[in-house]
Structure 1
Amino acid sequence: MTITAHPTQHSPELRAAARHIGRRRFLTLTGAAAALAFAVDLPAAGTASAATLDARRISADPFTLGVASGDPLPDSVLLWSRLAPAPFQPDGGMPALRVAVQWELAHDEGFTSVARRGTALAYPEFNHSVRVEVTGLDSGRVYYYRFRTGTWISGTGRTRTAPAPTAAPSALTLAAVSCQAYADGYFTPYRHLARDDVDIVLHLGDYLYEYAVNSVGGYRNYTDRTLPALFNRETLTLEDYRLRYALFKSDPDLRAAHAQHPFVVTWDDHETENNYAGDTPENSVPPEEFLLRRAAAYRAYWENQPLRLPQRPTGPDMRLYRRLHWGRLAQFDILDTRQYRSNQAYGDGSQIPGPEIDDPARTMTGAAQERWLLDGWRDSTALWNVVPQQVTFSQRKFDLTEPSRLSMDAWDGYRASRRRVLDGARAAGVDNLMVLTGDVHVGYAFDIKENFDDPASATLGTEIVATSVASGRDGVDRPATYDTYMKANPHLRFFNGRRGYVTVALGQQRARADFRTVPYVTRPGAPVSTAASFVTEVGAQGLTPA
């Protein structure tokens, strides 16, 4: 399958057809919409590939992109891999035939005590990705898994199930990561994270970047390899997005982290296009045409992430927000703040805002997701209510003068929406609220205030912002804006500009956040250290240095 037509190169006929595809009429990638979007028909799995490949014909290792698991439930785990003996080719080096893949889930790393085994099919329509929802498992325990096809066996992955719904575990340790621009540096933080003892990893967006990557890998500056020219363009088509995931997953440190820990993923903008909002693109492309691109991006995201079947996209729509539990210790409400939001007010950068940011008709989450979140809080019996999401939730002034500039792409540009969420948390009696955020390529720690302009107002929760894995290149410990931001935002407790990740240990009495950073990513092998640690107590929200 060769796909070369980019939206900027589409014929007038294709542009006209795209404008006539309404958002709700664009129901599936299995018919005419797919033909328009990708110049190829993409049927449902199995309808175009009745023949099955004899896997003994696969002559090179097909598990080049590793293994992964995700969204752990008390009795179930989701296992993922993809067959790609030639990952930098559009078809991954696989014929357009389905392939039988055996899988095993065991109690031990040596697979002497196998808990479950079976066979799954890898379909060419889904780029030979494989996902297995294993059920009937014991709660709260570690498992090991692997895949096999033909004579090839994948690396071993390690995963775990969540505790039983009625269990009250004493602790949960999570890691939060975000923003991994391949061209900005090596994914060294993942190497350290793979060695950490954490229960789950929450990826808060920008797993992928749509920008071109040159032959030397940008700031990786390869001298021992040359990347194909097909990466040196912006991602626009399904083929582009699939290939870009292959490039990112070729990083050994990312593969190591996936193999060692179950991931819970949500996207931000760059998995599709910078700063898009709902069906509004960054630039002046017609919304109907942009939805074709969004459909390609969403499909490739699902194909390449450890997500369950309810998250499978339908055309340009994908239900990514969802809820997970860790016994009665924690409830995770994973948000999608891209797909349903109103367009940014006053542009998508840092602006002195006007009254539009307080318009109650504008939304960050969409009405349905907002109701789902508030209803979930009302029904929650968890000690900790954790909200993994994408963009900075707390107020963040950029100036000491008034009025100050604010980010129109973050919750500051949707203040009425944020007010409804905070009022809903208070009405639901959520005492221990923690928001986890990515996006901004720095580490922040915020107290979430009832009134951000009044430092003496009640603290309603805490926000922990994970810095980037690589985006922004090496960074610095103390950014040039440090003094201004700390003075302009009294509720900001920590600000650091290095790369890394954050771990959060949730306990019955308190939570502790450790900001883990590396001194450089533009060359491999950086050590990791803890830049700062903070705690917040159960029933007494507010961050204090540990």
Structure 2
Amino acid sequence: MKTTKNTRRNFIQKTLMASGGIILAPNFISCSDDDDLQVDYDESQLTVQNFTYGVASFDPSNSGVIIWTRYMAADVEIIWEVSTQNDFSSILRTGKITTESSRDNTLAIELTELEADQKLYYRFISTSDNSISVVGETITLPTDATQAKLAVCSCSNYQAGLFNVYDAMANSDADIIVHLGDYFYEYGAGGYGSTEENAFLNRFHEPTGEIISLDDYRTRYKQYRSDASLQLAHQKKPFICVWDDHEIANDTFKEGAENHDEATEGSFEARKQNALQAYSEFLPFSRISADDNSVIYRSVNIGNLVNLVLMDTRLIGRDKQLNITDYFTATGFDAEAFQTALTDPTRSILGTTQRDWVISEITSSSAKWQVLGQQVLMGKMNVPAELLTAFGSPNFAAILTELVTIKLRLLNNDPTLTAEETARVTSVIPYNLDAWDGYPIDRELIYGALNGKKIVTLAGDTHNAWQNTLTAADGSEVGIELATSSVSSPGFETYLGANVNAELIAGFQDAMIALIDELNYFDASRRGFMMTTFTTTEVTSEWIFVDSILSESYSTEVGYSLTYS
């Protein structure tokens, strides 16, 4: 069947801004209408080839969405089509765009002025070789929503195992997949995530070394996007993404990273720009700053139901993390020096500009649910100082048991508790200074600005599942935290010793819940995602786990569920 389509379109080519030879803005085409475009091809002659990385869509709104693909060659004219029918019997939008080597032949079209609450289908065609992409599925958001279902994930390590979690989300009834970062890892082949147990999968990183150059980052994205399960998730669901640290380098902050050595790896700023350029090519996002791809924080409104405030706790404003070991001296832990550093009002995880924006977004919103989509745990994860120093030692289990016993006696108002015993469980310090616990001033500034509004915080990063009650310094409850496990990255189970088993893991989980005041649920060993559903009256979240990342045959189960109103 030969097809000829006449439509009207109007392209606006967004400005590219270069700095130091590095393009900072992605090559978006923004499309609000159609010109008189003649598209002439024989659909029966088209074959699936040269669109080997699939299709994707990003950042749906009530009037638009971004559609994406990558073609295998530069300087090739590609036709894109959008329809409300999966057979493309009528075309809603169409146009042409030419691939460019400057953005690794990736294509991103930002569709605007669409009708709200639509299911859309899209595809890409090259008449130069008669190739066609798979058909992608996406949506525009409603203006009057009564329900929104988000699949929330983070931390996918190609070397650590199969992406069954992506497959499960692709086949779920989620409206949107929210990815909270660590979309990939920067380490070389055989590094973090590789074990004797998963070596048979032959999922070793490409390129083989740690990634630093622009070509390195692009190659790593292409390896991950060659995975069939990840391709399926992108094909079936629109993604809303923010980066964490590993899209650049481990434990990134605004001026450097733990996993970057300027003496041997060159300028961190150059590496960061390489990482952000590749990110914008493979994971495009709608911007509040059109000319700067380092500003990823933004908000997504799902009707008047959900105000999803996406934050960057990693790159744009974060001061360098504190290191707890710096405060241990020959005579013990220097609590005074640690508290002075921890409560330094000049230290920030967001930066002043972003923090003010976040507060304004929350306080000015009339949406039912104020949802913070971000990377690291916000809840206060304070553990007995004694336990932190014992972690990894042979007597860790014995000390943990003693402390839990004391804490339970304290909660039950046991009059026989001694002052020394009480001090063992009340002398606490944050276990993870890379999270909000390392930046308590910023956290309290946000809590203090809520004016009675309750927040729902989404978090990733830790590779484990958590649920916290969020409380301000004065003890008032300000909301809840829902933290997802990982797609494949290993969790706490890898730190519990060679003889770890289900009973030991369960005991450790129960102990942490007993010792950490804000913590209500903790899974230390399983891979999965959260399915979080918002309605006009409540939030329901299910922590869904896969039983294997070492076999393509897998099953899922709900490990925990919560309803909040």
TM-score, normalising length from structure 2?
A: 0.77
- The verdict on how the C-alpha distance between 1:382 and 1:288 changes in structure 2, with shifts beyond 3 A counting, is farther
Paired letter, 2:131: W
- 5 Å-filtered alignment, 1:27-106, equals 30=18, 32-34=20-22, 61-84=49-72, 94=73, 97-106=74-83
Q: 1:43 to 1:510 in 2, by over 3 A?
A: closer
**In the alignment, what sits opposite 1:492?**
519
What is the CA distance between 1:312 and its match in structure 2? 6.7
Question: Aligned AA for 2:510?
Answer: D
* Structure 1: distance between partners of 2:159 and 2:487: 12
Tell which structure's C-alpha radius of gyration is larger: 2
Cα displacement (A) at 1:323: 0.9
Q: In structure 2, what is the Cα distance between the partners aligned to 1:31 and 1:309?
A: 18
The one-letter code of the counterpart of 2:64 is S
Determine the C-alpha separation between the residues in 2 that align with 1:149 and 1:375.
Answer: 45
Aligned to 1:344: 321
Q: What SS does the aligned partner of 1:354 have?
A: helix
Q: Is the 8 A contact 2:287 2:295 kept in 1?
A: no
Q: Which moved more, 1:218-227 or 1:244-253?
A: 218-227
Structure 2 match to 1:13: none
2:382 aligns to what SS in structure 1?
coil
More off after superposition, 98-107 vs 398-407: 398-407
Question: What residue in structure 1 maps to residue 148 of structure 2?
Answer: 172
Q: Distance in 2 between matches of 1:493 and 1:398?
A: 14
The one of 477, 483, 486 equivalent to 2:510 is: 483
Deviation per CA, 1:125-167, whole angstroms, max 9, x where unpaired? 0000000111221101211111111311111111111112xx2
Q: Deviations over 1:398-431 (max 9, x none)?
A: 4354233421100000011110011112x3x423
- Whether the 8 Å CA contact 2:371–2:457 is kept in 1: the answer is yes
Q: Whole-Å Cα distance in 2 between the matches of residues 408 and 109 of structure 1?
A: 48
Which residue, 437, 448, 456 being the options, matches 2:470? 448
The more displaced of 387-396 and 343-352 is: 343-352
Give the Cα separation in 1 of the matches to 2:201 and 2:535. Answer: 46
Query: Is the 1:473–1:522 contact (alpha carbons within 8 Å) kept by the matching residues of 2?
Result: no
Evaluate the alpha carbon distance shift between residue 109 and residue 266 of structure 1 in structure 2; reply closer, same or farther with a 3 A threshold: same
Matched-pair contact (CA < 8 Å) for 2:24–2:277: no
Quick one: structure 1 residues 131 and 388, their matched pair in 2 at CA, closer, same or farther if it must change by over 3 Å?
A: same
**Superposition pairs of residues 268-279 of structure 1, within 5 angstroms:** 268-279=244-255
- Equivalent residue, structure 2, for 1:463: 481
Provide the rounded CA distance (Å) in 2 between the counterparts of 1:43 and 1:327: 29
User: Which of the numbers 217, 225, 241 marks the counterpart of 1:249?
Assistant: 225
Give the alignment partner of residue 515 of structure 1, picking from 543, 547, 550: 543
Q: Is the 8 A contact 2:154 2:460 kept in 1?
A: yes
**Native 8 Å contact 1:298 1:313 kept in 2:** no
Provide the rounded CA distance (Å) in 2 between the counterparts of 1:73 and 1:125.
28
Within the candidate set 285, 289, 305, 2:267 is matched to 289
How many Å apart are 1:113 and its aligned residue? 2.8
1:23 — aligned with what?
none
* Conservation of the 8 A alpha-carbon contact between 1:323 and 1:333: yes
Question: Secondary structure of the equivalent of 1:72?
Answer: coil
Q: 1: CA distance between counterparts of 2:514 and 2:541?
A: 22
Going from structure 1 to structure 2, the CA distance change for 1:32 and 1:365 (only over 3 Å counts) comes to: closer
2:106 corresponds in structure 1 to 129
Q: Secondary structure at the match of 2:219?
A: helix
How far 1:62 moved relative to its partner?
Answer: 1.7
- CA distance in 2 between partners of 1:389 and 1:448 (Å): 15
What amino acid maps onto 1:191 in structure 2?
A: D
The 5-angstrom pairing of residues 166-245 of structure 1 reads 167=144, 169-214=145-190, 218=194, 221=198, 230-245=206-221
With over 3 angstroms needed to count, the CA separation of the structure-2 counterparts of 1:59 and 1:508, relative to structure 1, is closer
Q: Does the 8 Å CA contact 2:382/2:428 hold for their aligned counterparts? A: no
Residue 13 of structure 2: aligned partner: none
The 2-side partners of 1:474 and 1:418 are apart by 25
Across the two proteins, how many residue pairs are aligned to each other? Answer: 470
Q: In structure 2, what is the equivalent of residue 528 of structure 1?
A: 556
Answering whether residue 397 of structure 2 is matched by residue 420 of structure 1, we say no
State the match for 1:302 in structure 2.
280
Aligned letter for 1:383? Answer: K
Q: 1:334 to 1:31 in 2, by over 3 A?
A: closer
- How far off its partner does 1:108 sit? 1.6
Q: Provide the residue aligned with 1:147 in structure 2.
A: 124
Name 1:21's counterpart in structure 2.
none
Please state how far the C-alpha of 1:33 moved relative to its aligned partner: 5.0
Classify 1:271/1:313 alpha carbon distance in 2 versus 1 (closer, same or farther; 3 Å).
farther
Counterparts in 2 of 1:74 and 1:471: CA distance versus 1, 3 Å: same
> Does the aligned pair in 2 maintain the 1:474–1:522 contact within 8 Å?
no
Query: Do 1:349 and 1:409's aligned partners in 2 also have CA atoms closer than 8 Å?
Result: no
Give the structure 1 partner of residue 453 of structure 2. Answer: 430
Among residues 377, 389, 402, which one is paired with 2:362 in the alignment? 377
Deviations 1:257-312 (A, max 9, x none): 11111110001000000001111221552798111100000111110013236567
CA distance in 1, matches of 2:514, 2:492: 25
Return the offset for 1:474.
11
SS in 2 for 1:125: helix
Pick closer, same or farther for the CA change 1:107–1:60 going to 2, 3 Å: closer
The structure-2 alpha-carbon separation of the partners of 1:42 and 1:176, relative to structure 1 and needing over 3 Å to count, comes to closer
Find the aligned partners of 2:107 and 2:272 in 1 and give their Cα distance: 22
* TM-aligned CA distance change 1:389 to 1:309, over 3 Å: closer
Q: Find the aligned partners of 1:309 and 1:385 in 2 and give their Cα distance.
A: 20
Residue of structure 2 in register with 1:51 after alignment: none
Taking structure 1 as reference, are residues 224 and 414 closer, same or farther at Cα in structure 2, changes over 3 Å only?
closer
Q: SS at the partner of 1:407?
A: coil
Which deviations, in whole Å up to 9, do the C-alpha atoms of 1:8-44 show, x marking residues without a partner? xxxxxxxxxxxxxxxxxxxx9846454xxxxxx9999
Residue from 308, 311, 324 that aligns with 1:332: 308
Q: Distance in 1 between matches of 2:47 and 2:90?
A: 30
Q: Post-superposition shift, 1:358? A: 1.2
What is the match of residue 472 of structure 1?
490
Distance 1:76 1:350 in 2: 51
- CA, structure 1 residues 304+44, in 2 after alignment: closer, same or farther (shift >3 Å)? closer
Q: Is the Cα–Cα contact under 8 Å of residues 321 and 336 in structure 1 kept in the other structure?
A: yes
Q: Among all aligned residue pairs of Structure 1 and Structure 2, give the percentage whose two residues are the same amino acid.
A: 28
Q: 1:298 to 1:358 in 2, by over 3 A?
A: same
**Distance in 2, Cα, partners of 1:78 & 1:349:** 46
CA separation of 1:152 and 1:328: change in aligned 2, threshold 3 A: same
Which residue identity is paired with 1:523? S
Tell me by how many angstroms 1:347 deviates.
5.7
Partner amino acid, structure 1, of 2:85: D
AA aligned to 1:67 is: V
Distance 1:474 1:157, change over 3 A: farther
**Local SS of the residue matching 1:74:** coil
Partner of 1:368: 353
Root mean square deviation of aligned Cα: 3.0
Gap change, CA 1:135 and 1:82, over 3 Å in 2: same
CA distance in 2, matches of 1:483, 1:474: 14
* Amino acid aligned to 1:459: E
Contact kept, 8 Å, 1:474 with 1:520, in 2: the verdict is no
Counterpart residue type for residue 485 of structure 2: T
Contact 2:60/2:66 (8 A) holds in 1 = yes
